[in-house]
């Protein structure tokens, strides 16, 4: 058995096993206004985040690669065939302080006729890529509050109950396009994807 190459190992993320894992497809389609992101409005019948605007996506199944989860969810929600999806590459992972991670993937849709599953989606629409170049999101920063359990062993740490724990913030972004409000995780992923598209000259 050869010696393990520790230097070139791919680092894991400490604690990632405690995070729920999701994947989304940041899908581009060609429109009369140039390339545009395809977004969907979640069905009001859903238990989680009904009526919110997002990319197609969902929870990654056990043993499934993130990219396969993104493609599977897009096919289910948009009633696509696999041949209609052209993958361009991975985006940067969004890590939430609320114990979940989102793996975004950039792709193009071919021969898409604005179909969608009524069980999960109430509407689909497009936003031109140039809109996000011309309009920066409104940013708000929420303060994260640390709540320790009643039996926390203060006596085991320097300073005891007076220990000064770190503080953090959680960024929430908003875009308004016509009558649509795109906010939260979707807005952050869009901003990241637009920067990657520009950096790598993907289009």
**172, HSE (Cβ side, Cα atoms, 13 Å):** 9
The residue count of the chain comes to 203
Vertex 51, ends 48 and 54: CA angle to 5°?
80
Give 6's DSSP letter: S
Choosing among 2.40.70.10, 3.40.50.300, 3.90.79.10, 3.20.10.10, the CATH entry for 19-134+186-200 is 3.90.79.10
- Per domain, the residue ranges of the chain are 19-134+186-200
Closest among 117, 123, 119 to 54, alpha carbons compared = 123
Task: Look at residue 2 in the predicted model and tell me its pLDDT.
Answer: 57
pTM exceeds 0.75 for this model: yes
pLDDT by residue, tens only, the chain of 203 residues = 556 788 888 888 898 889 999 999 999 999 999 999 999 999 999 998 999 999 999 999 999 999 999 999 999 999 999 999 999 999 999 999 999 999 999 999 999 999 999 999 999 999 999 999 999 999 999 999 999 999 999 999 999 999 999 999 999 999 999 999 999 999 999 999 999 999 999 98
CB 85 within 8 A of CB 71: yes
């Amino acid at each position: 058995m050869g010696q393990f190459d520790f230097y070139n190992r791919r680092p894991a993320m400490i604690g990632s096993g405690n995070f729920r894992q999701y994947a989304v497809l940041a899908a581009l389609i060609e429109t009369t206004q140039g390339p545009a992101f395809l977004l969907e409005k979640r069905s009001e019948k859903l238990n989680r985040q009904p009526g919110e605007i997002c990319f197609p996506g969902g929870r990654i199944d056990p043993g499934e690669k993130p990219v396969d989860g993104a493609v599977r969810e897009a096919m289910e929600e948009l009633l696509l065939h696999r041949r209609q999806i052209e993958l361009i590459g991975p985006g940067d992972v969004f890590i939430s302080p609320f114990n979940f991670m989102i793996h975004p993937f950039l792709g193009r849709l071919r021969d898409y006729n604005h179909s969608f599953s009524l069980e999960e989606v109430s509407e689909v629409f497009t936003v031109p890529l140039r809109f996000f170049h011309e309009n920066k999101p409104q940013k708000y920063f929420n303060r994260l509050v640390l709540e320790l359990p009643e039996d926390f062993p203060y006596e085991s740490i320097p300073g005891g109950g007076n220990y000064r724990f770190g503080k953090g913030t959680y960024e929430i972004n908003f875009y308004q396009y016509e009558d649509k409000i795109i906010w939260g995780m979707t807005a952050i992923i869009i901003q990241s994807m637009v920067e990657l598209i520009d950096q790598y000259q993907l289009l």
